Structure 1
Amino acid sequence: MASLSLGGLNVSARRKSVQSRNAAVERRNLITVCRFSVKTLIDRSCFETIDDSSPEFNNFAAILEQILSHRLKGQITWFGYESPRSFWDYIRVACCKVSHNCICSIENMENVSSSRAKGRAWIRVALMEKHLSEYISAALRDFKTTRRFYEDGAIVLGEEANMLAGMLLGLNAIDFSFCLKGEGLDGNFPAVIDYTPYLKFTQSSDSISSDEEELRTLGSSGSESSTPENIGPPFIMDENSWYNKCRRVEQKYRLTLEQKGYLEELVRLRETQLAESVSQNKLLLQRIEDMDLAHKMEKEQLEYIIVELQDQL
């Protein structure tokens, strides 16, 4: 009996570790592909306007929708059943305190009825207003509401949430143009992520050399006689390997250059936010000083009145 119980504990512990590992991999995959999609959006915006027809935007919207829907709790009905929710139900509550928000406008849209369609309309409106990062940051700060809508292990409850708000900040530099009556708002079908633009296989130099050796071996085994004329192909393969190495170095350089431009834009936006915060801090300090001065004057007047009343008595 003791061995059976220990075996059951080992199985349950192993199952929990596998589940935690799968959840961590799922969160990491979604955050990584979201970072790639933001970068491709920024790159594409340098050449053309981003609208509903852009595949980069459609992929980004699908990724963000899955991130905000990750481990979203269902709604318990009166009969005890759990009905599915959309991430719009969370955004509508968590972002209601954002100044000049678009929540009421989206709720009153005539052509958008389902909750999922309203969430997709909110993503587009927030991008056109350049406030998507602000909405996400405000929602994540309301930890009580976030905990009420999401289960343990959700992306918005983990450390990845801070990364999400930071990477979305770079989208404020893009001018978006969307039609809120298009097919992209159809809430009947779930969003599907296209991972193929972000998949890239780079063959190592050791693997390339092994391929060359295999080709040499096949070529030598297929020929009936080894003559000096068969010395040419290895030299051509060496040239191809050098060409492949140069291509890889060029691709790494372009990737580094793109990342540098993205980070520079992110730093510029951060500096703008910092300057705005400093100015707001100065205004608050000035208000505090004015309130202290008014308080002191009011206190002096009250003390003077008290002294006069004491003299009269």
Structure 2
Amino acid sequence: RFSVKTLLEKYTAEPIDDSSEEFVNFAAILEQILSHRFKACAPAGPVSWFSSDGQRGFWDYIRLACSKVPNNCVSSIENMENISTARAKGRAWIRVALMEKRMSEYITTALRDTRTTRRFYDSGAIMLREEATVLTGMLIGLSAIDFSFCLKGEVLDGKTPVVIDYTPYLKFTQSYDYLTDEEERHSAESSTSEDNSPEHPYLPLVTDEDSWYSKWHKMEQKFRIVYAQKGYLEELVRLRESQLKDLEAENRRLQLQLEEAAAQNQREKRELEGVILELQEQL
């Protein structure tokens, strides 16, 4: 949660890239979450899910679980010539998903495939707990940020270890200041009293310029927070509407299957009744 907040606070008009310490920390944390209690051995079955380099990582899970996402980037990452290891492909996927502003969609789709998720993760993994659903909600806010990455270099070679710097989160404080109700009421009263006071040619219009500038700055920060929350909620509504449509389609499909099963049951019942009648006639 803190890593997402720091990214949102870091973002300005310029896109965020690999030089951002906030992004480096976020990517490391997300990689750790996706790798938490990841099964070291391939699941039992006829299909081998090992990567071409003989190593297994969360990319093997993402490659299968996110294959149902429309217009996904999985095949593009698989075909990248300069990226060969599973770890490098996983890191490339994180960056591409952020640039596409679809990270939450990918994770949500992967979590829906519970069978694949259970086969890749041991019991107690974050991806198998309720925290994973909370994670998808937090990732929606990242769609408000523009990312720009170069999918080359040492970061994606798979050899660089993942290091999380917890220092910013130990001293994390909200940088936005809010006007308290008392301050707003005091400001309103002071402005009202000034409006009612008689004008005097020697009375300055603003008695404390720094105070007014501070209040204006606080109001501006408050507006930015509300605007960011508005974008977050709109994106959340779009995601929930998409999920609702998927559930409605699934419900219709199950209803059709139920009707077909009931019709099949009736046909089999009539056939059995006919067989019984024939046997009775023969007797």
Counterparts of 1:1-313 in structure 2, within 5 Å, are: 31-37=1-7, 39=8, 54=17, 59-60=22-23, 62-69=25-32, 72=36, 89-93=57-61, 96-100=64-68, 110-127=81-98, 128=100, 130=102, 131-138=105-112, 142=117, 145-147=120-122, 156=127, 160-169=131-140, 180-181=151-152, 184-190=155-161, 201=175, 238-313=208-283
- What is the identity, as a one-letter code, of the residue corresponding to 1:65? A
Distance 1:56 1:275 in 2: 39
User: Measured at CA, do residues 134 and 178 of structure 1 come closer, stay the same or move farther in structure 2, by a change above 3 Å?
Assistant: farther
State the 1:57 CA deviation: 8.4
| 5+ residue gaps, structure 2 | 42-54, 180-205
Distance 1:76 1:283 in 2: 37
Partner of 1:19: none
Q: 1:94·1:138 contact (CA, 8 Å) conserved in 2?
A: no
Higher helix share: 1
User: Measured at CA, do residues 180 and 201 of structure 1 come closer, stay the same or move farther in structure 2, by a change above 3 Å?
Assistant: closer
Distance 2:28 2:266 in 1: 54
State the 1:279 CA deviation: 2.4
Q: 2:17·2:23 contact (CA, 8 Å) conserved in 1?
A: no
Partner of 2:202: none
Q: Which has the larger radius of gyration?
A: 1
Distance 2:130 2:85 in 1: 31
Which SS does the other structure have where 2:84 is aligned? coil
- What is the identity, as a one-letter code, of the residue corresponding to 1:134? T
State the 1:94 CA deviation: 7.2
Q: 1:2-26 deviations in whole A, cap 9, x for unaligned?
A: xxxxxxxxxxxxxxxxxxxxxxxxx
Alignment coverage as a number of residue pairs: 232
Q: 1:106-144 deviations in whole A, cap 9, x for unaligned?
A: 567543233421211232454549442235524788357
| 5+ residue gaps, structure 1 | 1-30, 78-86, 206-234
- TM-score with structure 2 setting the length: 0.60
Distance 2:124 2:78 in 1: 19
Q: 1:73-128 deviations in whole A, cap 9, x for unaligned?
A: 69889xxxxxxxxx962452476355447768756754323342121123245454
Q: 1:133·1:169 contact (CA, 8 Å) conserved in 2?
A: no
- What is the identity, as a one-letter code, of the residue corresponding to 2:106? L
User: Measured at CA, do residues 281 and 116 of structure 1 come closer, stay the same or move farther in structure 2, by a change above 3 Å?
Assistant: same
User: Measured at CA, do residues 76 and 204 of structure 1 come closer, stay the same or move farther in structure 2, by a change above 3 Å?
Assistant: closer
Partner of 2:199: none
Distance 2:247 2:63 in 1: 21
Which SS does the other structure have where 2:82 is aligned? coil
Percentage of pairs with the same residue: 40
Q: 2:77·2:92 contact (CA, 8 Å) conserved in 1?
A: yes
- TM-score with structure 1 setting the length: 0.55
User: Measured at CA, do residues 263 and 113 of structure 1 come closer, stay the same or move farther in structure 2, by a change above 3 Å?
Assistant: same
Distance 1:67 1:269 in 2: 21
